Amino acid sequence: MRGVPLPRGVRHQAKPPRLYAPGVAGTLSRAALEAAHCWEKDDLVPHQPALTEFRRMLRYHQARWRQANGHPIGTQPIRPAPGRPPQRPVGSRLPLDHAVETGANFLTAPALDAARTRTSYIERHQSFDHQRLWADLLSSVTMSFNLFGDLAVDPRMADRAVHQWWPDAPGTVTEVCFAHSPGRLDRSYLGNLVDVDIACVLDLDDGSRGIVGVVAAYHDVNHRQAPKPERLPRYVEVSERADVFRPGWLDAVNGTDLIHVWLRHMLLHSMLQHADGDWGWCRLVVVHPSGNTNWADVCSRYHALLGDDSSFASVTIEELLSTDVLPAATRTGFRDRYLPD
């Protein structure tokens, strides 16, 4: 990537070869996926063949990107148990030792620096999958570093980006941090382990702070999940105080596939409601590729529940990259890596 300093020993310059393999027109054959070590049962989404195909396409694309850049293949599990061989090779993974040594999962020096900084400290009660961060090419958390890494080291660029992407955001961006929660298991917030992938912190004119919390979704899909019964009253309390929902919202989110967006949205509102009074504005933004119809559908249905939608938004990766906020080489490298033609 000409113009962007790359970590020593990391090669990201090659584009993956042609994506589609012989098979049904416009699809990937099972034989091609198996040959690339990309046939994974987890990619199957029942009754959604287009979404299943999209997830398989992303896995295959990452495997081809890995091959094009000369990186060795990883395994399942990512780190085999001592004295035991891995179960199988996985085309969309890197060997963990190679990944940590080279930083090969990160596209730019700022992204790698941000990842190393974030993994150098521990937020209280954090749940952080270090193996996937370094070695899984499909990791949405890694993608968040690759998309926002330049902003993390340049607050002025971060401020321009936030206000170009969301012009009504108040204040000035002073910090970009990753995998962040103001207080996991702290009932003065939401009392669970939820965090946001990226937190853009703003200084507001009245002396308080604002936050754009970003959920980065790539290959993932949402599944139904019931909250722990002892935590539900707190979730409802924060939601009712936020006063952003239309009638009937609780049945629509409680125990459904909307719960993951709901809890992250309410985490930010719990910051606004906190007794310390430090926070005065928030917005949750979900960022996903346009082809991930699961996240597009979840965001659309969640948005329909909001009577006041000023604190929630969703945007595609393609839309973010269509602006000139990020360095041109970062945009090009990111498209080549994450967005199949």
The H or E element that residue 177 is part of is strand 172-180
107 or 127: which carries more pLDDT confidence? Answer: 107
Domain boundaries, the chain: 30-338
Mean pLDDT score, 17-35: 69
Q: How, if at all, do strands 172-180 and 312-316 pair?
A: unpaired
Inform me whether the pLDDT recorded for 231 exceeds 50.
yes
- Residue 68 CB burial class (10 angstroms; 0-12, 13-18, ≥19): middle
Mean pLDDT score, 247-266: 98
Inform me whether the pLDDT recorded for 38 exceeds 80.
yes
Mean pLDDT score, 159-167: 98
Inform me whether the pLDDT recorded for 20 exceeds 60.
no
Mean pLDDT score, 162-181: 98
Inform me whether the pLDDT recorded for 210 exceeds 60.
yes
Mean pLDDT score, 206-215: 98
* CA Rg value for the chain: 20
Query: What local confidence, expressed as pLDDT, does residue 11 receive?
Result: 38
Band of pLDDT at residue 21, cut at 50, 70 and 90: very low
Query: What local confidence, expressed as pLDDT, does residue 7 receive?
Result: 41
Rounded Cα distance between 331 and 329, Å, is 5
Q: What is the pLDDT of residues 103-123, one digit of tens each?
A: 999 999 999 999 999 999 999
The H or E element that residue 141 is part of is helix 140-152
Mean pLDDT score, 258-286: 98
- pTM for the predicted model, two decimal places: 0.92
Inform me whether the pLDDT recorded for 219 exceeds 60.
yes
Band of pLDDT at residue 128, cut at 50, 70 and 90: confident
> Mean pLDDT for the chain?
93
Give the rounded percent of residues in the chain with a pLDDT score beyond 70: 93
Mean pLDDT score, 266-286: 98
Q: What is the pLDDT of residues 243-256, one digit of tens each?
A: 999 999 999 999 99
Rounded Cα distance between 60 and 69, Å, is 14
Rounded Cα distance between 241 and 234, Å, is 11
Inform me whether the pLDDT recorded for 39 exceeds 60.
yes
- Residue 84 CB burial class (10 angstroms; 0-12, 13-18, ≥19): exposed
The H or E element that residue 250 is part of is helix 249-253
C-beta separation of 91 from 36 below 8 A: yes
C-beta separation of 218 from 141 below 8 A: no
Q: What is the pLDDT of residues 186-209, one digit of tens each?
A: 999 999 999 999 999 999 999 999
Q: What is the pLDDT of residues 293-307, one digit of tens each?
A: 999 999 999 999 999
Query: What local confidence, expressed as pLDDT, does residue 312 receive?
Result: 98
Query: What local confidence, expressed as pLDDT, does residue 16 receive?
Result: 67
